[in-house]
Structure 1
């Protein structure tokens, strides 16, 4: 059996022994689907690792005293492995979630609490599993703004921003009441009410040029939620009053790949006899989804609405002129 398979068996064995009752070797062997001899070896491995597997002679069984493993968290080893994997991968400076590097330190602390013999197995397991995220936005120099926004959100203080606004096409100054911090589409965003716009807006942390927490307090609207704010936006940009039922037909070459992903909460798939797939979705605005559709080139055809057909037709014609030139 591979070392990873052995780790899984040891995890299951430990969880069973920590359950509060005493098990004999036959019960443990049946549970792990191995021989009693293997169970004896596994118990010795755990004991050699410093885990206090105890034997009750009167009941001829084994158990682990509660509260003796990974104090004071009382995490099971399976929970610890999951946290370590996520913390190490998401804390990566290149492929993880920006500004979460401290999670790697947390992973090391968790690993240091493992018994010596199991550290090698755990290290092998975490080294064998990788989580690759999409390329992240360049947020070098923006961590201070993220941390100030987080502090402002938790203390409910307004934050003053100097911000390079693509929407306004200029650098703006505004006072923001931060309702939420959101990581989506490769970057961090502040979502809150802007004094300049007199409305809730979305601010890309990487476009903040300067930030300052003020003494002005704010109270978030009791009914505010990200779901209400984003509505049926394809990603982040909600075009109010522009809800559309979109149908896109994907050719067999890409249909299965598209179908395997949950792109939107409203999506519905209809398979056709010729192997094509009709992708149905209801979105608040057609501009964001248009870029996604164009990424599939001639393998995607918009069936409705006509406004989206016209938008993509115009872009394709402009592209044709560029390449003909």
Structure 2
């Protein structure tokens, strides 16, 4: 049984048992979707951890004393509002971050604890504040793989993947030591050492076909960090030995929109007298950045380096030929 599923089940038990009513074994079995034997094991796990579980012989149910619940945090209205908006938007809509439904549930619990005189006020405010995220990748079939990768990270055990690789243009089998999970640019990614490639690689969770947590242990290298791994990549793809300085001149129509966003940690901007903007970054490779530049059409002109100018020109010719 997945350790992550067990933790979720134990938290569900705690939440229900501290609600003030007694739950029978059959109710807990139905609630958790497991056998009576598993429910008894979970109750014992909680008791061994110091949770005081009481048994009501009259109703043949289990419950927790009220004082077992955690004391409420003293949040200001501003703090409460921020948590509600972020949690609801992260886990409660079609464009929510995948696998973060618990954030939505936490927001509902927090909202239910508000004083009555604040509830209406907060409801009005939260309905007026929206966070519109970018379109998301399809992760409908990725939950089990996400959970196994989380389990691999927490238990420091390798995860065997059957993966539909875009880079190799085929399906591959590899044993991954998952160092980090990263949500970026529409999707969840696992970053870790791959036995097949003998190096640290990035895996799109939505492309995992099968996964299995193994008993093989691993350790994260002390010097590993996402910042070191991605280097100066424009987004997710770092091209080895390809660091260069790129300068793009943006026309006045889009210049201000470009200048208002922090696209890359190395970016520098210079306004020209004619209203154009010179945008300069240092990147590890030009392929990823080229698609961003092309999205601005004739409003962007690459000044340097020459290989990027030629790449943009080649793709522009191919686009023109298509039309």
- Bin the TM-score by the shorter chain: 0.7 to 0.9
C-alpha distance in structure 1 between counterparts of 2:150 and 2:159, whole Å = 10
C-alpha distance in structure 2 between counterparts of 1:127 and 1:220, whole Å = 42
Question: What's the CA shift for 1:151?
Answer: 1.1
Aligned to 1:198: 198
Question: What's the CA shift for 1:101?
Answer: 1.0
Aligned to 1:238: 238
Aligned to 2:39: none
C-alpha distance in structure 2 between counterparts of 1:86 and 1:206, whole Å = 24
Aligned to 1:73: 73
Aligned to 1:178: 178
Which runs of 5 or more residues in structure 1 are unaligned? 1-69
C-alpha distance in structure 1 between counterparts of 2:254 and 2:86, whole Å = 30
C-alpha distance in structure 1 between counterparts of 2:250 and 2:78, whole Å = 41
Q: Secondary structure at the match of 2:83?
A: helix
* Residue 313 (1) aligns with residue 313 (2): yes
* 1:180-199 alpha-carbon deviations (Å, 9 max, x no partner): 00000010000000000000
Question: What's the CA shift for 1:72?
Answer: 2.7
Structure 1 stretch 311-320 or stretch 194-203: which is displaced more?
311-320
TM-score relative to the length of structure 2 = 0.77
Query: Greater Rg, structure 1 or structure 2?
Result: 1
Question: What's the CA shift for 1:71?
Answer: 3.5
Question: What's the CA shift for 1:80?
Answer: 1.6
TM-score relative to the length of structure 1 = 0.77
RMSD: 1.0
Structure 1 stretch 254-263 or stretch 94-103: which is displaced more?
94-103
C-alpha distance in structure 2 between counterparts of 1:305 and 1:138, whole Å = 36
Aligned to 1:26: none
Question: What's the CA shift for 1:116?
Answer: 1.3
* 1:74-102 alpha-carbon deviations (Å, 9 max, x no partner): 22332121111100011124111111011
Q: Secondary structure at the match of 1:310?
A: helix
C-alpha distance in structure 1 between counterparts of 2:152 and 2:80, whole Å = 31
Q: Secondary structure at the match of 1:269?
A: strand
C-alpha distance in structure 2 between counterparts of 1:157 and 1:120, whole Å = 47
* 1:189-213 alpha-carbon deviations (Å, 9 max, x no partner): 0000000000000000000001000
Instruction: Summarize the alignment of residues 103-122 of structure 1 with structure 2, pairs less than 5 Å apart.
Output: 103-122=103-122
* Residue 302 (1) aligns with residue 285 (2): no
C-alpha distance in structure 2 between counterparts of 1:224 and 1:83, whole Å = 31
C-alpha distance in structure 2 between counterparts of 1:121 and 1:71, whole Å = 24
The answer as to whether partners of 1:93 and 1:101 remain within 8 angstroms in 2 is no
C-alpha distance in structure 2 between counterparts of 1:183 and 1:253, whole Å = 31
Over 6 Å off, 4+ runs: none
The answer as to whether partners of 1:240 and 1:285 remain within 8 angstroms in 2 is yes
Aligned to 1:151: 151
Aligned to 1:58: none
- Matched positions, count: 254
